[in-house]
Structure 1
């Protein structure tokens, strides 16, 4: 690991202090910087660089630790329900060993259970392995090459070869390769969004600053950030994992991955099912042994009961249902790295969302131009010059002057990127300051040919922007080469103070106090809308060597330009959908409170007059009780100027209150919270690799609307899981009750064998359960409040439906079994396993369960709505799966080869008619129950709405 050269707080660093005892990066006087790092203005010698490379290691982040493939695959078999299935398989193998004579069919079905376990594990492993490899390497955040001084010569080296003490050369457009202290700075601005979440470019200086948080030091630049303007030289003081970027990486790596609510509930369900199966099997074994039944036969009987209680097809059904959700999300450009994350979003109660790049475009865009008392809206977003300036003629001079007074460059997309209309990877981008880029785009939208303007009025002098004047000025030669003009842009208040005239509707007028008040009021109005406002002015000058004082005094104001980082167009609808679904949205950003509130209002996160706005500094002063109280308040909440530690603390506090928390973000600063959340959602196109690494879901199109769609799909997945749980467990009752009834009635044989039960569980039930797992979301799924984290899969409602439907099925199969037995007139004690009547009776039980499950599958498709309202034929896959199960049952009844395996017998047409009547009775009973619920228990969501 690379050692940090102690920039400030060494207590949180991995490897102590630099031998020089350098106390703090930002406070060291400029003259002492080189000495403190044992280097010089000529940089390190090649020999010294090699020594330091050996000492500190490569300038790269450690690769995220990954389990080996075999360990990843083995982990699929350690899930509790997988263990339950393995136990069921072992039971079946044991039954085979104890049978005399041994039944090959039992052996084959035991192998089939193992095959289901393997299939389930393979699906989970393949899905997670594929998604894991799709996530890009964290190393891509570090630039590949950089310019370094070695032995006084400028060289271009791989960034991984940088060491502490190297002197690097930075220019506009460069990515910063390590944490550095500036020793030369020429109007440098950097974009720290990847670390702080703040999209605004911030100026840098080479002078020492007061001690404080390192990320706020204006004389330092950091790995993973970008130089947007100016040029500089800087000395490296931290590389690799010792950088601020590395600190966030370690913070994210240390955060444990949270188990989803479904993971916890499935594990709990597996424990309960295993315990109940073992307890009932043992109890029945204990009851039958004293009656004189053979020990081995009694043990096999108890094993059959245990098998009846284990839904062998459930894990495969669960995995495939989740995989269906994964594929549906993939169609919405959402990459899910873990199957269970599909459901987790459906239980989300709070979304903590970043601002820059998540809610916004991360591209400054001019929205309004004001000149001569008139506002001119500008359409289009991003850096693509697509859109128009309303009534552009009066503001062309203003936008032309602002564009000429820029050092940024607008770079068109490559020839093969025609399908990407906006900025982004392969789209339009700005080289230099993003604010200047927005001015260039606005000028192009006004019909100004930027190249022609630069050729017509070439620049002959420049006075760069600085943080004291808050202005930038350029001098240009006019077309006739005899006159010169100065163009000035900057902060409105600063520029207004230097203006004596104003361009008012094409005429030059004195800037009276009244007009100054109008300009100031307009500036305030634009700023109140969350716009960043710049002013532009001009004046004639005497020549190319006009002084700065001459250039920036006696100006004529051209107008104001208001710009913003625009919200993504789909965000408002997504926010509204989340609100209707009862999902609370909390903005958590490193940006300024005013900017955050303006964006939040535009997208609908804030609707109240006075939302709760809390800064990171205030969070630091809060103890856990105060934070819990803040989060418990129903007010709209914005958390601004927060650090990665703050985000993690907020997520933990929300989880402590029982919330299911989803965190969205794109920057490295979001990574710890993304990993610590119940589900982390990273932006795929504009997001950083560290964010994608930490998240379990990646939005490939960066669309916040995919969040609302994912919540809808996640809720649908959870509903579908409940549907096939009811479907699967209800027939377990139908398998168990006849066995219990026969035991207490004194019948010596089982009404259904373990082999038949496995045939139902693996042959007839899996496909209909999968078809239920593919049910589309119900129409009102986003109108319901989110379920509680404490709500169980087996809620009282679910258990009630299982008992209701299972009881009807159990009653039907008990009736047909004992009716057939009693109709034969044969005493119980005379029945043997090879008796034809007995084989017909157990065939009736198996067929009765299969047929009733066909109608049961139709019944459970909706919770309250009538199946006839959504249409009996609206899920053709379910009908096909049910017909396949009935066809398989018919084959077991009529084909001699299968009769020998399952000890079945042919059924008469009347038998099938009776079984069908019981199925219709079940569907009618469930429809009656739903009708009663609709009449007496209307659904009430959050706020009393349906």
Structure 2
């Protein structure tokens, strides 16, 4: 396979404006013989001359991806003030300043409160800016995937240089375990296999060649290797033909950068809420002004009063409470290995309805592991996962000869763990799995290699699908060990080792081997066979080595699922979240992994390949996604992922997409929530995502969803808490107006003292409530659901109505008890000052009980424990203490026009608060008793 279409050279302008200008080489490079490539790319087998490098760098630039364009810090900070709710508060602050300017005489308390509102806006902006800046800087500090150094031939000498210094025409030297530093054309290839998972999503290493190729897509040119991939086996020399933004890696980087960032559901909800609150405050202020002017009140005082009410109706503490609640969610997620780069993304995870997850490294450990060995007609299970030699082979004695042969026929090596990373494989991961299982069977391969040194090798190639090595033993005899594809190896065997006895490979035994192979393959395992034969000398021909072999057995291996993923998948199922596997891997492998982790349970899930997706139009894709069954998308490209995400969003789904490779970046950015891998992910993927999993585990996504749902619940809790007392503030004013009372039952200054002094701390404590036990047993909310849903508004009216009735009753009871006519009341009348103090204190006390009531949706607060949130009790206690200070301290009495309350007054107010808690507990009891199967209150 190869290419008629031009391989991009650094001069290929088809990649967009960021591609370097000029040309080097041409479209014929992939079709040229290795010796002709050097002339075409204006270089030589000795590499570039040092004198040529500077000119090429001036022409093509450094070999690095362009930095993502970031707004300046000042613009980021200013952006915190452009949010509509911040604008509402700024307007509220301006109105309060205006009210201060219109007052005669001017009240310094109004000025202080105006400054306080402005301070809340600044504090809220600082919190949001600091949190997002810190999270993004942390994400940028993660290790980049593009290698930092590489080996290059220049002036005929091998040098190690920073990868960013490469230029087109450089000759690089590649070996197993190396990351490819740029897009290169191979000129020498010795059994090279490349892991292209970062670009194609395929976990299997694919063979590379230095020979000319024909026509085909760029990524399928078998004589090219690409930036961001790595060499799994073999060695090679290659000429760089594209660097930086002109590479395939750079192409996907730009594709991701072009995708617009989607607004999260909470961003839309907060914007809608800000518009509603602003409109309601303006309407109510105007209505009160219109009602009071005809009663003969002074025009200016009435206007100031209306402005004050408008300010009071804006919940000044809400933005700070919202930001802090989100920040708490960010910190909780970070402790569970999920780094969130944007505060609002925390909640969006909680509303996720579909997770499109990659397979390799997310559901699996990206570590090949042998799980079963077949020898002598019997299967032998292998325990343990990964590259650590922890585990064992059941009854290892019959399989030691098989594992010894397979282990000796390997070029990979195990790298011991270090302080920075655990045990890993240098070379082919399949061979690494063989080394590990040999150790589990009790074999010391180092001692075996010392006793039987290798004297010859016939490397693996993709044509014959075998690898063979020749070894000498201590007696001067020679043995060949061969491993490879079972079908290929079985055809070259004439005998089989059957429980230690060499038997002729009869048709019956051959059928038994084929059956065993099919059983392993049906489990989604990669199957290798191993065989041996004695040799007469140390330099046999390859045909001799790989014929008349004795089959030793079969080895079945897989990339094991992460042990925690199954529970995470089950949690998603209970939560009503659909999981769609989207991978570049083979369908059988994908289905096997999906079954192991619980994504697939049906007998016949829908398995659709990228080719089949190409054949589906928009309606066909919508029909496919409309089906509620299990779905696996395999062999897909970045464009396929983008189509799927867009189609799901078109159906109203909130889509989270996981990925680690550069090929995932466009879908990550286009999704509602892009989730990148921190340990194995590419820079491109991490840049595109709004959340980074530091441990690469799907289980961390489930934890993040749980915390995200909790954040949304908590937001609703403190919304109910904050807005319910607005009713208690407004109803007495309306009642006094229509009753003809000349003064207000509570002043704007008092209302602002409640909003800023008594409500903020309990609201913050509600924002820090831990998730309720059943949060993952509820279905996700609909994308179009509003924060102020019918249920939420009903609860606000229920709780606010009780508070309003209580404080209104207290006010008029106190006024009427004095026997003073309405017309004789003035602001300085002691009875009036006591009455408005009772109203303010009544709201503060009832809000303390209200905070306890809203901690749960349906569950009794006594069941979770009244003392289980000490911060809430402390915040409520602070509010009551502040109210006591306003009531008893003369300086504050002068500011708020209040009077000292008697012990009996506090007892009456506490009784009203307890009544509110009892009423809410009764409502929850009724819901539990009469509607046990419905969705939790507040979900709809």
Please indicate the TM-score interval, normalised by the length of the shorter structure: over 0.9
CA contact 2:11–2:19 (8 Å) conserved in 1 = no
CA contact 1:188–1:231 (8 Å) conserved in 2 = yes
Q: Residues 503 and 363 from structure 1, CA distance in 2 versus in 1: closer, same or farther, beyond 3 angstroms?
A: same
Q: Deviations over 1:678-713 (max 9, x none)?
A: 111222222223222222222222222121111111
Q: Partner of 2:436 in structure 1?
A: 441
Pair 1:655 & 2:649 matched: yes
Of 630, 651, 667, the match for 2:624: 630
CA contact 1:305–1:739 (8 Å) conserved in 2 = no
Q: How does 1:174-185 map to 2 (within 5 A)?
A: 174-185=178-189
Tell me how far apart the structure 2 counterparts of residues 683 and 160 of structure 1 sit (CA, whole Å): 24
Q: How does 1:477-556 map to 2 (within 5 A)?
A: 477-480=472-475, 482-556=476-550
Tell me how far apart the structure 2 counterparts of residues 7 and 633 of structure 1 sit (CA, whole Å): 46
Tell me how far apart the structure 2 counterparts of residues 614 and 272 of structure 1 sit (CA, whole Å): 45
Tell me how far apart the structure 2 counterparts of residues 635 and 6 of structure 1 sit (CA, whole Å): 46
CA contact 1:10–1:16 (8 Å) conserved in 2 = no
Tell me how far apart the structure 2 counterparts of residues 172 and 859 of structure 1 sit (CA, whole Å): 63
Q: Partner of 1:327 in structure 2?
A: 331
Tell me how far apart the structure 2 counterparts of residues 91 and 293 of structure 1 sit (CA, whole Å): 21
CA contact 1:499–1:556 (8 Å) conserved in 2 = yes
Instruction: Provide the alpha-carbon RMSD of the alignment.
Output: 2.0
Moved more, 288-297 or 167-176: 288-297
Q: How does 1:309-388 map to 2 (within 5 A)?
A: 309-388=313-392
Tell me how far apart the structure 2 counterparts of residues 687 and 53 of structure 1 sit (CA, whole Å): 28
CA contact 1:8–1:23 (8 Å) conserved in 2 = no
Q: Deviations over 1:344-392 (max 9, x none)?
A: 1111100010000000010111111111011111111111122111111
CA contact 1:7–1:237 (8 Å) conserved in 2 = no
Q: Residues 353 and 836 from structure 1, CA distance in 2 versus in 1: closer, same or farther, beyond 3 angstroms?
A: same
Tell me how far apart the structure 1 counterparts of residues 848 and 577 of structure 2 sit (CA, whole Å): 36
Of 398, 402, 426, the match for 2:402: 398
Moved more, 832-841 or 178-187: 832-841
CA contact 2:20–2:60 (8 Å) conserved in 1 = no
TM-score in terms of structure 2 length: 0.96
CA contact 2:10–2:19 (8 Å) conserved in 1 = no
Tell me how far apart the structure 1 counterparts of residues 25 and 660 of structure 2 sit (CA, whole Å): 36
Q: Partner of 1:210 in structure 2?
A: 214
Pair 1:716 & 2:721 matched: no
Q: Partner of 1:621 in structure 2?
A: 615
Q: How does 1:36-185 map to 2 (within 5 A)?
A: 36-136=40-140, 140-185=144-189
The residue matched to 1:749 in structure 2 has which SS? Answer: coil
Q: Residues 24 and 253 from structure 1, CA distance in 2 versus in 1: closer, same or farther, beyond 3 angstroms?
A: farther
Tell me how far apart the structure 2 counterparts of residues 438 and 7 of structure 1 sit (CA, whole Å): 42
Tell me how far apart the structure 2 counterparts of residues 858 and 25 of structure 1 sit (CA, whole Å): 73
Q: Residues 323 and 20 from structure 1, CA distance in 2 versus in 1: closer, same or farther, beyond 3 angstroms?
A: closer
TM-superposed CA distance for 1:28, in Å, is: 4.2
TM-superposed CA distance for 1:280, in Å, is: 1.5
Moved more, 447-456 or 667-676: 667-676
TM-superposed CA distance for 1:938, in Å, is: 2.6
Tell me how far apart the structure 1 counterparts of residues 934 and 453 of structure 2 sit (CA, whole Å): 69
CA contact 2:494–2:548 (8 Å) conserved in 1 = yes
Tell me how far apart the structure 2 counterparts of residues 191 and 651 of structure 1 sit (CA, whole Å): 26
CA contact 1:30–1:206 (8 Å) conserved in 2 = yes
Q: Deviations over 1:99-148 (max 9, x none)?
A: 22222222222211122112211111111111111113588322222222
Q: Partner of 2:598 in structure 1?
A: 604
Tell me how far apart the structure 2 counterparts of residues 27 and 635 of structure 1 sit (CA, whole Å): 46
Tell me how far apart the structure 2 counterparts of residues 119 and 494 of structure 1 sit (CA, whole Å): 70
TM-superposed CA distance for 1:318, in Å, is: 1.0
The residue matched to 2:312 in structure 1 has which SS? Answer: helix
Q: Residues 909 and 138 from structure 1, CA distance in 2 versus in 1: closer, same or farther, beyond 3 angstroms?
A: closer
TM-superposed CA distance for 1:18, in Å, is: 5.9
Pair 1:798 & 2:808 matched: no
Tell me how far apart the structure 2 counterparts of residues 322 and 573 of structure 1 sit (CA, whole Å): 26
Q: Partner of 1:458 in structure 2?
A: 453
TM-superposed CA distance for 1:714, in Å, is: 1.1
CA contact 1:8–1:24 (8 Å) conserved in 2 = no
TM-superposed CA distance for 1:544, in Å, is: 0.7
TM-superposed CA distance for 1:622, in Å, is: 1.8
Q: Partner of 1:33 in structure 2?
A: 37
Tell me how far apart the structure 2 counterparts of residues 893 and 661 of structure 1 sit (CA, whole Å): 52
TM-superposed CA distance for 1:875, in Å, is: 2.4
The residue matched to 1:135 in structure 2 has which SS? Answer: helix
CA contact 1:357–1:687 (8 Å) conserved in 2 = no
TM-score in terms of structure 1 length: 0.96
Tell me how far apart the structure 1 counterparts of residues 692 and 297 of structure 2 sit (CA, whole Å): 60
Q: Partner of 2:830 in structure 1?
A: 836
Tell me how far apart the structure 1 counterparts of residues 8 and 100 of structure 2 sit (CA, whole Å): 65
The residue matched to 1:543 in structure 2 has which SS? Answer: coil
Tell me how far apart the structure 2 counterparts of residues 304 and 683 of structure 1 sit (CA, whole Å): 50
Tell me how far apart the structure 1 counterparts of residues 883 and 923 of structure 2 sit (CA, whole Å): 29
Q: Residues 26 and 743 from structure 1, CA distance in 2 versus in 1: closer, same or farther, beyond 3 angstroms?
A: farther
Q: Partner of 1:422 in structure 2?
A: none
Of 765, 771, 775, the match for 1:771: 765
CA contact 2:20–2:59 (8 Å) conserved in 1 = no
Tell me how far apart the structure 1 counterparts of residues 124 and 14 of structure 2 sit (CA, whole Å): 48
Q: Residues 727 and 554 from structure 1, CA distance in 2 versus in 1: closer, same or farther, beyond 3 angstroms?
A: same
Structure 1 residue ranges without an equivalent (≥5): 418-424
Of 820, 827, 847, the match for 2:841: 847
Q: Deviations over 1:691-748 (max 9, x none)?
A: 2222222222222212111111111111111111011000001111111222222222
TM-superposed CA distance for 1:30, in Å, is: 4.1
Q: Residues 138 and 568 from structure 1, CA distance in 2 versus in 1: closer, same or farther, beyond 3 angstroms?
A: closer
Tell me how far apart the structure 1 counterparts of residues 683 and 470 of structure 2 sit (CA, whole Å): 43
The residue matched to 2:144 in structure 1 has which SS? Answer: helix
Tell me how far apart the structure 2 counterparts of residues 156 and 131 of structure 1 sit (CA, whole Å): 34
Tell me how far apart the structure 2 counterparts of residues 370 and 940 of structure 1 sit (CA, whole Å): 52
CA contact 2:96–2:110 (8 Å) conserved in 1 = yes
Pair 1:237 & 2:241 matched: yes
CA contact 1:404–1:487 (8 Å) conserved in 2 = yes
CA contact 1:8–1:214 (8 Å) conserved in 2 = no
Tell me how far apart the structure 2 counterparts of residues 6 and 254 of structure 1 sit (CA, whole Å): 21
Tell me how far apart the structure 2 counterparts of residues 463 and 941 of structure 1 sit (CA, whole Å): 65
Tell me how far apart the structure 2 counterparts of residues 139 and 713 of structure 1 sit (CA, whole Å): 27
Q: Partner of 1:581 in structure 2?
A: 575
